[in-house]
Amino acid sequence: MDNVKKISVFLDRIEEDEDGSAEAIFVLEEEKDEFREFVLPADFLPEGTNEGEYLTLQISRDEEKTKDALDAARALLKKLEE
């Protein structure tokens, strides 16, 4: 995979909801002393991950899925135009 972005994030806490699901609250340092929180389902965490750990998120473009979605949208538009 080319053009992959890796981001180091801190797992601040895991919050459990009444329905049994859980959310992982991450902190990302954007600049010195500037932080941003974001949330993902706790199910996304690797097994054995605990609060207070640093994790590496890897983000890359999924060109194949993007192409497939565009192709499907074009096919639908063409069908609607008929």
Question: Per residue in 23-48, pLDDT tens?
Answer: 999 999 887 888 999 999 999 999 99
Task: Tell me which residue range forms the domain holding 73.
Answer: 5-81
Write the CA distances from 61 to 22, 67, 82, integer angstroms. 27, 11, 33
Q: What is the pLDDT of residue 29?
A: 84
Per the CB < 8 A criterion, the answer to whether 14 and 25 are in contact is yes
Per the CB < 8 A criterion, the answer to whether 3 and 58 are in contact is no
CA 42, distance to chain mean position in Å, is 11
Count how many domains the chain has: 1
Q: What is the pLDDT of residue 33?
A: 81
For the whole model, what pTM was predicted? Answer: 0.73
